[in-house]
Structure 1
Amino acid sequence: MARIAFLHTGAVVIPTFAALAAEHLPGVEVQNLLDDKIVADLGRGVPTEQVAQRLADLGDAAVAAGADAVLFTCSSISQYAGPLADRLGVPVYRVDEAMADEAVRAGDRISVIATLPTTVQPTAALLRERAELHGRDVQIDEVVVPGAFEAAVAGDRARHDTLVADAITAATGDVVVLAQASMASAAEGLALPVPILTSPERGVRRLAENLL
Structure 2
Amino acid sequence: MKVALVHATTTALNPIEDAFRKIAPEIDLLHFMDTHLLSMLEESGSLTPEIARRFSKLISLAAESRPDCIQLTCSAFNPLTSILQPLCRVKMFRSDEAMLDKALQYERIGLISTVKETPDALIDYLQARQPNCSIESIVDPGIIHLLFQGKQKEHDERVRTMIAEMDGKVDVIVLSQYSLAHVANQVETSVPLLIAPEATAKRCFEYILQK
1:114 matched to which residue of 2?
113
Letter of the 1:210 partner, please give it.
Y
| Contact 1:116–1:144 under 8 Å retained in 2 | yes
Residue number among 161, 168, 182 corresponding to 2:163 in the alignment: 168
Give the C-alpha shift of residue 175 in structure 1. Answer: 1.1
Matches within 5 A, 1:5-20: 5-20=4-19
38-47 or 168-177: bigger deviation = 38-47
1:197 matched to which residue of 2?
194
SS state at 1:117 partner? coil
| Contact 1:109–1:175 under 8 Å retained in 2 | yes
Matches within 5 A, 1:44-123: 44-45=43-44, 48-106=48-106, 108-123=107-122
| Contact 2:20–2:198 under 8 Å retained in 1 | no
Letter of the 1:131 partner, please give it.
Q
2:135 matched to which residue of 1?
140
Q: Deviations over 1:52-105 (max 9, x none)?
A: 211211111122222221000111011111222211211000121111111121
| Contact 2:15–2:181 under 8 Å retained in 1 | no
Taking the aligned partners of 1:193 and 1:163, their CA distance within structure 2 comes to 19
Unaligned runs of 5+ in 1: none
| Contact 1:100–1:130 under 8 Å retained in 2 | no
1:207 aligns with 2:204: yes
- Structure 1 residues 173 and 50 mapped into 2: Cα distance closer, same or farther (>3 Å)? same
SS state at 2:190 partner? coil
- Structure 1 residues 150 and 65 mapped into 2: Cα distance closer, same or farther (>3 Å)? closer
1:36 matched to which residue of 2?
35
TM-score w.r.t. length of structure 1: 0.90
2:153 matched to which residue of 1?
158
Taking the aligned partners of 1:189 and 1:150, their CA distance within structure 2 comes to 20
| Contact 1:95–1:202 under 8 Å retained in 2 | no
SS state at 1:105 partner? coil
Q: State the 4+ residue runs in structure 1 displaced beyond 4 angstroms.
A: none
Give the C-alpha shift of residue 126 in structure 1. Answer: 1.6
Taking the aligned partners of 1:127 and 1:120, their CA distance within structure 2 comes to 10
Letter of the 2:147 partner, please give it.
A
| Contact 1:39–1:118 under 8 Å retained in 2 | no
Output the aligned Cα RMSD.
1.7
Q: Which has the higher relative contact order, 1 or 2, with Cα contacts under 8 A spaced 6 or more apart?
A: 2
| Contact 2:12–2:74 under 8 Å retained in 1 | no
Taking the aligned partners of 1:153 and 1:174, their CA distance within structure 2 comes to 32
1:3 matched to which residue of 2?
2
18-27 or 197-206: bigger deviation = 18-27
TM-score w.r.t. length of structure 2: 0.90
Give the C-alpha shift of residue 168 in structure 1. Answer: 0.3
| Contact 1:101–1:131 under 8 Å retained in 2 | no
185-194 or 20-29: bigger deviation = 20-29
Letter of the 1:34 partner, please give it.
M
